[in-house]
Structure 1
Amino acid sequence: MADDPHRQQDPTDQYPRPDFPGQDQPHPGWTGPMDPPPDHGEETYRGSGRLTGRRAVITGGDSGIGRAVALAFAREGADVLFTHLDQEEDEARETTRLVENAGRRAVAVPCDIREERNCRSLVDRAVAEFGGIDILVNNAAYQMSQPDGIEAITTQQFDRVMRTNLYGMFWLTKFALPHIPEGGSVINTTSVQAYKPSPHLLDYAMTKGAIVTFTQGLAQMVAERGVRVNAVAPGPVWTPLIPATLPDTAEFGKQSPLGRPAQPAELAPAYVYLASQEAGYVTAEILNATGGTPLP
């Protein structure tokens, strides 16, 4: 973890740089075994009331970027309902602890967003718990590296990637929008892969490109309702998904101009900004956090 991320310093050395120890995990991956351990802002994120009283729904909030966003939202004053897979219950308990230690409500919901009925039930649960939704963060995603090319991408894998990354986002947004008031916000997680696709992540990159289009189109559709829609496009980020889905993590992030992957804590402020009223004139935008990789 960074000693003090608020101190002016060289960003190339702010967090660990590869080469990292070899590590491999079964999907979906867990935070505990990762070396170096990811930083979610546990010791460093400082809230300042930007989201006081807001009600947030975050998919994939048990670890990685989702956990960092849940922690930051809570320290900014928001209550948080987040999803996790059944096998991620231990991870979800840690996110719950962080949110509750910030003095806010945490509701952890095991949910497979690949099913429409689950997405509808999730929105109903959030409305029952909080009385409404002010911020929806569509963050959950699935990827699996296939270095052997398109022939190695099975229909089962393709279907899982599409339903997790696109169908779930579409359904959740569709069901949540009637409950999001003026001043509310939808924030999607896209990726540098939307613009510079890696061949071994072809199906995943396809979905991230679609998320950019969805974000920009939906933002225009709902602008008259007073609801903003934006996205964050991370570059390489050190999360459990990486050792669980990529064959070699030793040099992960080394290709970025900053020479290292981002930590989840470095992404959370982007989501806070887009959710806050400070971004009141920002909609249909993609906030790129790629470590220096130029994007269109």
Structure 2
Amino acid sequence: MTADIPAQHQERTPGLEADMNPAPDYAPRYKGSDRVKGKVAIVTGGDSGIGRASAVLLAREGAKVAIVYLDESEDAEVTRKAVEAEGGECLLIAGDVRDKSFCTRAVEKTVERFGGLDILVNNAAHQAVDEDLRQLSQESLAKHFETNVYGYVYMMQASLDHLKEGAAVINVTSVNSYKGNDTLIAYSSTKGAITAFTRSMASNLVEKKIRVNGVAPGPVWTPFIPMSMPAEMVEGFGSGSPMGRAGQPNEIAPSVLFLACEDSSFMTGQVLHPNGGMIVGA
């Protein structure tokens, strides 16, 4: 359960999990059962938050994992050690998913190191508060879409030559794609685009037997929160959800695993909603 979250703010972008209080819980809760044994996965934004929890859980279930991150080297190293502690192999790849050529290189490095690619988890994202649309700068709007949408497209473009029958793509969207958010206008708009992209690519790839699904978390305690919000908004974060608390990254990662493995073999174009009880249209 999420402890009471005190007021805090990080000036650095992206934020750091190492500087959060309390520390998010990313550790898998259950023993592995080889659900993705021998598979190769890429997790963007895998250094922290939902990305870290997903990477460690995939490793526990038998996957080799490449972690794509911007420049959060300290957090990425913690993730690498956690993956290796699960008996998995881990490749760290630093760079900006807004750069199409970097995304291509990241996929190539992964395939060169591990011999293939079976699972792509698009998770890296940018978030900033914008309460008044008139104050949303062109620079901020571009960063949101270039990171959250272009980055997903670029990573998928680079992966398509390597994904084979049975492969899975999981795009992390948000509850805000469905209900909107009056203080996260640009961010919510990008998440709506991700949901539409997920459904479009699921239809596009269904004949190739490549599944594309999404996860739409609600309020989750990740570096996003103290990075993007003023301290007074962070205090008590998540308490307004039906469950009365924020989620932890390790409460979201099982949805990623489910969509990555054969347990979800009859699902494509779908979105799971680990959101603390918010009722939204699917």
Same fold (TM over 0.5): yes
Structure 1, residues 53-109: CA drift from partner, whole Å, max 9, x if none?
Answer: 0000000000000000000000000000011112x0010000000111111110010
Tell me the CA shift for residue 210 of structure 1.
0.7
Aligned to 1:85: 70
* RMSD after superposition: 1.0
Runs (4+) off by over 4 Å: none
Aligned to 1:62: 47
CA distance in 2, matches of 1:126, 1:16: 34
Tell me the CA shift for residue 46 of structure 1.
2.2
Identical amino acids, percent of aligned pairs: 42
Q: 2:155 aligns with which of 157, 164, 172?
A: 172
CA distance in 2, matches of 1:81, 1:245: 26
Q: How does 1:1-296 map to 2 (within 5 A)?
A: 15-18=1-4, 20-26=5-11, 27-41=13-27, 44-86=29-71, 88-147=72-131, 149-247=132-230, 248-296=233-281
Tell me the CA shift for residue 207 of structure 1.
0.6
Aligned to 1:10: none
Tell me the CA shift for residue 127 of structure 1.
1.2
Structure 1, residues 143-173: CA drift from partner, whole Å, max 9, x if none?
Answer: 11123x0111111111100000000100110
1:135 counterpart letter in structure 2: I
SS at match of 2:234: coil
SS at match of 1:195: helix
CA distance in 2, matches of 1:220, 1:33: 41
Tell me the CA shift for residue 33 of structure 1.
2.5
CA distance in 2, matches of 1:295, 1:74: 31
Point out the more displaced range, 232-241 or 123-132.
Answer: 123-132
1:89 counterpart letter in structure 2: S
SS at match of 1:200: coil
Tell me the CA shift for residue 174 of structure 1.
1.2
Structure 1, residues 190-227: CA drift from partner, whole Å, max 9, x if none?
Answer: 00010111121101000100111111111011011110
For structure 2, list consecutive stretches of 5 or more residues without a partner in the other structure: none
SS at match of 1:217: helix
* TM-score between the two structures when normalised by the length of structure 1: 0.92
For structure 1, list consecutive stretches of 5 or more residues without a partner in the other structure: 1-14
Retained in 2: the 8 A contact 1:17–1:259?
A: no
2:7 counterpart letter in structure 1: G
Point out the more displaced range, 32-41 or 69-78.
Answer: 32-41
Tell me the CA shift for residue 276 of structure 1.
0.6
